[in-house]
Amino acid sequence: MASSLSDSPIESFKRAMTATIRALAENDNLEVAFCKENPELQGETVRVVSPELGCSAEELDAIRGIGDELALRVRFHDVQVHTRHCPAAGPARELFQWVEDARVSSLGALRMEGVAQNLDASLDQICRQANFDRITAATDAPLGVAVGLIVREQLTGRELPPAAENVARFWREYVHQQAGDAIEALSPCIRDQVTFAERCREILKDLGLATEQEQQLDTSESDQQTDTESEQEDEQDTSVDEFIATDNEEGSDEVDASSAQVETSIDAEEYEDQSDAETDDLPQTNIDKAGNISRDFQYYPFTTKYDEIVNAADLCDSDERTKLRATLDSQLVPLKQATAKLANRLQRRLLAKQNRTWEYDLDEGTLDASRLEQVIVDPMNPLAFKREKEMQFRDTIVSMLIDSSGSMRGRSIVTAAICGDILGSTLERCGVSVEILGFTTSAWRGGLSREDWINAEKPENPGRLNDVRHIIFKAADMPWRRCRNNMGVMMREELLKENIDGEALIWAHNRLTSRPEQRKVLMVISDGLPVDNSTLLANPSNYLEQHLKYAIDMIENHSLVELIAIGIGHDVTNHYSRAVTINEPEQLAGAMIDQLASLFDVPQ
């Protein structure tokens, strides 16, 4: 029986694929694990999807392609180099990531035809899963993805698979017109990741997406500049001067665009300086008597008529909610024992339950046994009784605000759903009111708001250009048993689109201010910075991030609401002063018990 199992087609496929991955990665010690979904690379472990018996040849090719790509990433991709050169957020980050993926894939495709075919199959599957094959208008085609695909086409000399071509075709002419020379310059340096990354930044500049990189360089220079500069600082200044000089030599139009970007960066710095200098005035001007935060005067939506607040139960039917809940339950099995431990820890931290003590020397109540001798000696003594009294601690409400954007798809959103489920049920057991909220947008890359902007002849600096969707998974007064199935809705892929964090924080904060509880805690669960392509392409590229900083500053420094954050796979401590990071669902129980509970300490 054991022999027949080991010789099964699936086991043979796994052995062959394991050998291929190790050979491509040139690492015989690489661990290859097979899972049901969400392939990924974690340190020295490659996780790939296990095929099902009877699957098609196309599905097998896609699985092989994902394994080949991860193996090539082990061999040719340096995470530290990528992190050092990668933009912080927005369309620039998305573009940079897709172009780097194109570099890694091309290194395998150019050497082996079989690998090239596998990579094409996996790329086609990825694009279909993202519904790229259904795109019918340029407004729905992400620019960053399109550039990455066009670069891949240039490096490999191969036609793109159908679903990928349906993205690239909308932007190919524009991209070649604006950045064709920079893309052609990538081929000679595909083996040199540093040089490749630097030339990729030229593409960002040619497409008008380099503001984030330039701002990071400017910030680094300003922090390091002193009256007596070191030689290292001089070298950095020279490199930045050369970078800016290249812009100035490309014509008056380019100079004007560069000047506009510099002015935007200066405006952002002036705004930060003003916010630091005027913090005493902010509570009076931006927080009303009820404690609600208003929007930053430098941030505004183009229109709010398409924004919506929806209940999770209205996003899909009951059968689908039940199915999604069952999927979440399967992920929670290993964490059941941890839930009880977490409940005890949080019960002490949140002071939600009442501690009992006694009042002594009373005329009536329960006989105080310590006074029994006194009662016998003097039966008329009126102060021999005690009464149990309650020490009233402040009531507490915890609001969890969960990033429901496309970048959370896969293991991140599963981790967030597990966080919400465990914390929601646990806090209710502790007697703490719990509210679970989510935030995303109604459409990819701009919805009806963007259409209105286009119909208005695209005025400059239009503000937010997507329709925000705020979701209520559990209202504070709703019992957990009635909304338990709503937590599964969080993993519904059709829900996950863009994320506009600043407005979501203010929305969740203002819901808390109307609550009667004395202690209010707002917990944000997110994987990074806000991203909405339609907004960032029509405004300064730090537009959404600046508003997020404003919202965080208002809550942390001018509100009674306590703000904490959990970063899912990303370090969010640069923005939130109280935060932890969780990388894997398997690490969740330990992290929540060891780290998260401490975040609920009452500030001294």
Q: What is the pLDDT of residues 581-596, one digit of tens each?
A: 777 655 655 565 555 5
Residue 388: band (very low, low, confident or very high) from pLDDT cuts 50, 70, 90:
low
Provide the whole-model pTM: 0.56
Q: What is the pLDDT of residues 541-553, one digit of tens each?
A: 788 888 999 999 9
Mapped onto helix, strand or coil, the DSSP state of residue 35 is strand
Alpha helices in 302-401 (DSSP H): 318-332, 336-350, 372-377
Residue that has been written with the tokens 């695209």 in this structure: 458
Per-residue pLDDT at 542: 84
Share of the chain above pLDDT 90, in %: 13
Per-residue pLDDT at 348: 60
Instruction: Write the CATH number of the domain with boundaries 308-347+394-599.
Output: 3.40.50.410
Per-residue pLDDT averaged across 513-522, rounded?
Answer: 87
* Res. 177: pLDDT tops 70: yes
What are the residue boundaries of the structural domains of the chain, listed by start?
2-76, 79-206, 211-277, 308-347+394-599, 355-391
Whole-number mean pLDDT of the chain?
Answer: 75
Q: Are 42 and 70 in contact (CB under 8 A)?
A: no
Per-residue pLDDT at 360: 64
Lowest mean pLDDT among 35-44, 151-160, 507-516: 35-44
Per-residue pLDDT at 340: 59
* Res. 201: pLDDT tops 50: yes
DSSP state of 367: E
Q: What is the pLDDT of residues 486-497, one digit of tens each?
A: 888 888 888 888
Select the more confidently predicted residue: 88 or 234: 88
Per-residue pLDDT at 329: 81
β-pairing, 355-362 vs 385-391, is antiparallel
Bridge partners, residue 469, by sequence = 308, 440
Mapped onto helix, strand or coil, the DSSP state of residue 560 is coil
Residue that has been written with the tokens 């040619």 in this structure: 206
CB-CB neighbours of 186 under 10 Å? 21
Q: What are the backbone dihedrals phi and psi of residue 299, each rounded to the nearest 5 degrees, phi first?
A: -125, 140
Residue that has been written with the tokens 């085609």 in this structure: 141
Per-residue pLDDT at 368: 64
Residue that has been written with the tokens 């159908």 in this structure: 162
Q: Are 495 and 315 in contact (CB under 8 A)?
A: yes
Give the pair of three-digit tokens for residue 604: 């001294």
Give the pair of three-digit tokens for residue 33: 């694990």
Question: For residues 241 and 522, what is the distance between their CA atoms, to the nearest angstrom?
Answer: 44
Terminal CA-to-CA distance of the chain, rounded, Å?
65
Question: For residues 167 and 164, what is the distance between their CA atoms, to the nearest angstrom?
Answer: 5
Residue 285: band (very low, low, confident or very high) from pLDDT cuts 50, 70, 90:
very low
Per-residue pLDDT at 89: 61
Give the pair of three-digit tokens for residue 597: 């509970």
Per-residue pLDDT at 221: 37
Dump the DSSP string for 490-528: TT-GGG-B-B-HHHHHHHHHHHHHTS--SEEEEEEEESS
